[in-house]
């Protein structure tokens, strides 16, 4: 009988230690994940990738051909005499009806916000920004979902000749 009690006690000890080991494993994994995240924080303009994240493609041009829904003179660098820059955005993976917002920044300052409807799970939309004289330098357009989360961004530059 003492041998049976000892076996039962050892089995009980094992069952009591399993939850402790499981908690220690979770704590170590969480610490390792936190250390990885601290070592390489994501850039502020990049959305955090998730399995259900929409795919966003952003391009710029000097004009827009509405018949073909394509940019005229596409690029990432424009001359200082450009009057308007167009931003063409393709959004894949959002469930309509919904919308996105183009937020235009010049040297870090907000210059415009444009709300745009999304009509299907594969949708192209665009906005444009009138460029005033002297607005040279770095520009960025961030695409926000309805919750204000950045789901895409791209930059271009306006340069003096």
Omega within 30 of 0 (cis) for the link into 97: yes
pLDDT digits (tens, 9 = 90+) for 59-105: 999 999 989 999 999 999 999 999 999 999 999 999 999 999 999 99
> What's the mean pLDDT when you consider all of the chain?
79
Is residue 35 over pLDDT 80? no
pLDDT at 38: 38
Report the residue count for the chain: 161
Q: Which stretches of 12-136 are assigned E, i.e. beta strand?
A: 55-65, 70-74, 77-79, 84-92, 98-106, 109-118, 122-130
pTM of the model: 0.68
* Per-residue confidence (pLDDT) for residue 65, from 0 to 100: 95
- Alpha-carbon span 77 to 97, nearest angstrom: 34
Residue predicted with more confidence, 88 or 43: 88
Between 21 and 102, the higher pLDDT residue: 102
Measured CA to CA, the distance from residue 57 to residue 53 in angstroms comes to: 13
The two beta strands, 150-159 and 77-79, are parallel
């Amino acid at each position: 009988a003492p041998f049976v009690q000892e076996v039962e006690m050892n089995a009980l000890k094992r069952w009591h230690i399993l939850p402790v080991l499981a908690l220690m494993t979770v704590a170590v994994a969480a610490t390792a994940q936190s250390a990885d995240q601290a070592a390489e924080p994501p850039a502020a303009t990049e959305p955090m990738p998730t399995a259900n994240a929409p795919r966003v493609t952003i391009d710029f041009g000097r004009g827009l051909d509405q018949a073909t829904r394509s940019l005229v003179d596409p690029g990432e660098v424009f001359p200082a005499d450009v009057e308007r820059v167009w931003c063409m955005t393709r959004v894949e993976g959002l469930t309509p009806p919904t919308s996105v917002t183009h937020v235009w920044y010049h040297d870090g300052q907000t210059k415009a916000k444009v709300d745009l409807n999304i009509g299907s799970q594969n949708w192209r939309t665009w906005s444009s920004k009138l460029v005033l004289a002297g607005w040279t330098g770095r520009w960025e357009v961030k695409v926000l979902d309805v919750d204000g989360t950045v789901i895409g961004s791209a930059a271009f530059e306006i340069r003096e000749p």
